[in-house]
A and B are shown apart, each in its own frame.
Chain A
Amino acid sequence: MVVLSPNLSSGISPQINNFQFQLNCPCGGDHLPQDHWSCMEDMPQTPAELIDDLVKMGLYTSESVDHARQLAQAELLDSLFLDNVAGSDPLKRQLCQELIQEAGGLDAALAAAFGPQATEFLGTTMQRGTFSRKQFLKQISVAAGLLAFGISTQATETAHGQGKPGGPLEKTKLRIGFIPITCATPILMSKPLGFYQKYGLDVELVKMPSWAAIRDSAIAGELDAYHMLSPMPISISLGLGSTTFPIRLASIENINGQAITVANKHKGKVKGPADFKGFRIGVPFPYSMHNLLIRYYLATGGLNPDKDVRITPVPPPDSVAKLSIGELDAMLMPDPFNQRAVFEKAGFIHMLSKELWTGHPCCAFAASKKWIDAHPNTFRAVNKAIIDGCGFSRNLVNRPRIAKAIAPRQFLNQPEAVVTAVLTGQFEDGLGNTRKDTNRIDFDPYPWQSFAYWISSQMVRWNFLPSQRARYQEIADQIFLTDAARALAKEVKQTPPNQDLRVEKLKFDTFDPKNATAYIKAQKTKYGV
């Protein structure tokens, strides 16, 4: 049984005594725990290289290798079958076996592929002191499964936009378009807080003037990737309100993060959806969660959103101005403009969008299929960077720091106090109350396919999408790159769900994606629209 000593890089010839190590670091070498990370950084990039190095350095004797091979073979075969998600390609299996044979130290191979995780794995393993063979094998089989998955990932390069992990980036200088709203937080903060850099990317964030400009720019192929409203990849791919152009949704930027804001002149008069009758309501774009959610809300009050109110697309700053002078009665806008309206004493927050549907998607990180196909590795890297940033943003502790980083003129260009209020969820609501709701905006990159189903169903409901074109599964499957997002999330130590679909619980009803048509029917029956 050979366990790799992490002291390779210092060149000190380690003691390879089975199960006997000095205990300065939990792993047993006489170095500091942090050195694992710096050591791992110096590792060769592919397992094969690493194995070569190790063998050359004489750290593995041939007996060790044989020993490992024997142990591993029998158990591993089973695990591989179980864990090989990508298929049962004999070539892949053979590759896997050969690698493991050659290495004998599967963990070393994993270290090269998976970085810091492996050292933890290493650490836990060694901490046990004496290994139990079964435990080791179990861990190896898990690792092998992962490795096999990684190999199959290499083989099926662009199946779902998954480039080679560690494959060469087609381009490192990227331009990403965004709209200056807090929904874009992961995209934005990844620049000043170094997430793009971490994955070898030099990103220029291009501030776009409107969603229409984003749409046109995406269709024209002008920039590399875009911040989009989550329904937009669907609407553009299906050619609703534009030419048909395939866009893929890579990950969700934020969940929640909107609010229904009502003009101050209606203070005290608005209790429920029915009170919105006759209102002029602003939304940022027709194909947006904002539009779909406000319609959802209004319908529950018996209003027909196309007849009883006037919903118009309004650019966010205009919406605050119009609210202020009385040209808009209400709006469902992305933050920070709701909070800004309160700040400018133009309106009050009637309801946070998370109250309508906790965990609803808002904005997304998207790129055109054409671009993804042409730059699979770069896409992988940038998506990973953003997912990583998303995870970082999720953590409430980081939010004030993020607010400070993205408030300046080059990003959101909003007063820092407003942005902080939105991100930390401690805010004035314009009715004299100070509220605290830490999930006012939240960040979860996982693109549930049930989101796509709901969006499509509502688009059918409101006749944006003819029902015969609403092939829910196909839409969700093709447009939402859920698998890729899941894999990348795992790579950055997040714990994404394994399912694609779930039942969504909204405020007024429950959505089962498998019965989308019935859901729409139920809504129409209950509310008349």
Chain B
Amino acid sequence: MAVSSKSNLSSESVSWYQDQNLQATLIFITSLVVILGIWELGARLGFFAELMPTASATLVALWGWISNPFYDYGPNDKGIGWQLVVSLRRVILGFTISSLIAIPLGVYIGLSKVLSKAIDPYVQLLKPVSPLAWLPLGLGLLKNSEATALFVIAITSLWPTLINTKFGVSNVDPNYLDVARSLGASRWRIVWKVVLPSAAPNIIAGLRISIGIAWLVIVAAEMLIGGTGIGYFVWNEWNNLSITSIITAIVVVGMVGIVLDRFFAFWQDLVSFGRKV
């Protein structure tokens, strides 16, 4: 008996209002409009503090900053594009330093249970230290704001990479190790060809978390150290009580954070080969 079907399966298409992506986008836009509307009304009617600007003023300021991002009127007044570049440069440098320390160290202690237990107290002690606490220490040791910023980024962002690397290395599927051992592979070969590739998704997951932290820290560090960068920009604008600029900075910082995260997510997917980390 033939079964009649309501729709031709091979060319079944979802009507436009059922498309989930479209639905999500519509909800997002609507909610954004509502929030901006409440903000605008609230600011105009005085629900918020005096200093809080209206949504419209903020959007205008945001556009102003973004549409001319690379102007340069001297060291203390540059466009937001330059500030971002400066901050990104610091983040990338500090992050690279932290990764170069964290990954080899993580592999090393992941491979040795004894070492892992020995190092653990340091990790647990230093991991939760706030970047703001490292700042004066760094300045005292290094005597240079730029180096201090890099130091603070490095030391706060190395923990997730270290911990995730260690985890990835010490939790390699024992089957892989059995395969390699049964073939008589040397320790070095096992580490290089089995352990590291197996731990790669974990390592990159760690890097992904670390870059997020590094980006967070740089803004805070620059607010306290000054000079240039998006953190300095925020502080400078706060000096002028210009909240529109600060909100601009928040938006811009957030967007860059998303890009950084997506970058590492891409690599994580690439090395997972179907595994879920």
Contact = CB atoms under 8 A, between A and B. Distances in A.
A/B: CB atoms within 8 Å of each other = yes
Interface of A: 180, 204-210, 213, 216-217, 220-222, 316-318, 320-321, 324-325, 340, 344-346, 408-411, 413-415
Given A413-B237, A413-B239, 4 more contacts: A206-B226, A317-B239, A324-B50, A410-B73
Interface string B116-159: 00000000000000000000100110011100000000000000
A210 to B, nearest CB: 7
Contacts of B140: 216, 220
A418 B52 CA distance: 19
Centre residue among A209, A318, A324, A414 by max chain B CB count within 10 A: A209
Centre residue among B224, B226, B235, B241 by max chain A CB count within 10 A: B241
Interface string B221-261: 00111110000100111111100000000000000000000
Nearest to B227: A206
Contacts of B274: none
A97 B223 CA distance: 59
Q: Which 4 A/B pairs are nearest by Cβ-Cβ distance?
A: A410-B77, A410-B76, A220-B143, A209-B226
A216 B136 contact: yes
A409 B236 contact: yes
B239 A222 contact: no
B174 to A, nearest CB: 52
Contacts, number: 78
Contacts of B76: 205-207, 409-411
B74 A410 contact: yes
A316 B75 contact: no
A207 to B, nearest CB: 5
B51 interface: yes
Given A316-B239, A317-B239, A410-B76, A346 B139 contact: no
B3 interface: no
B2 interface: no
Contacts of A414: 239-240
Contacts of B232: 207, 209
Nearest to B50: A324
Contact of B75 (A205, A317, A340, A346): A205
Contacts of A205: 75-76
A180 B223 CA distance: 14
B49 A324 contact: yes
Nearest to B235: A209
Interface in B28-74: 49-51, 73-74
18 contacts: A206-B226, A209-B223, A209-B225, A209-B232, A209-B235, A220-B140, A220-B143, A220-B144, A221-B143, A222-B143, A222-B145, A318-B238, A344-B241, A409-B77, A409-B236, A409-B240, A410-B75, A414-B239
Contacts of B75: 204-206, 410
Nearest to A415: B240
Nearest to B142: A220
A478 B65 CA distance: 49
A452 to B, nearest CB: 28
B226 to A, nearest CB: 4
Nearest to B243: A321
A217 B145 contact: yes
Contacts of B143: 220-222
B42 to A, nearest CB: 15
A338 to B, nearest CB: 14
Contacts of A216: 136, 139-140
B139 A207 contact: no
Contacts of B49: 321, 324-325
Contacts of B50: 324, 344-346
A206 B229 CA distance: 13
Given A207-B76, A209-B235, A221-B143, A321 B51 contact: yes
A209 B74 contact: no
B224 A210 contact: yes
A322 to B, nearest CB: 11
A31 to B, nearest CB: 40
A317 B75 CA distance: 21
Contacts of A206: 75-76, 226-227
A213 B51 contact: no
A410 B233 CA distance: 11
Contacts of A415: 240
B83 to A, nearest CB: 12
Interface in B210-227: 223-227
A127 to B, nearest CB: 46
Contacts of A408: 73, 77
Contacts of B235: 209
A239 B139 CA distance: 18
A204 B228 CA distance: 13
Contacts of A208: 226
Nearest to A340: B241
Contacts of A318: 238
B240 A413 contact: yes
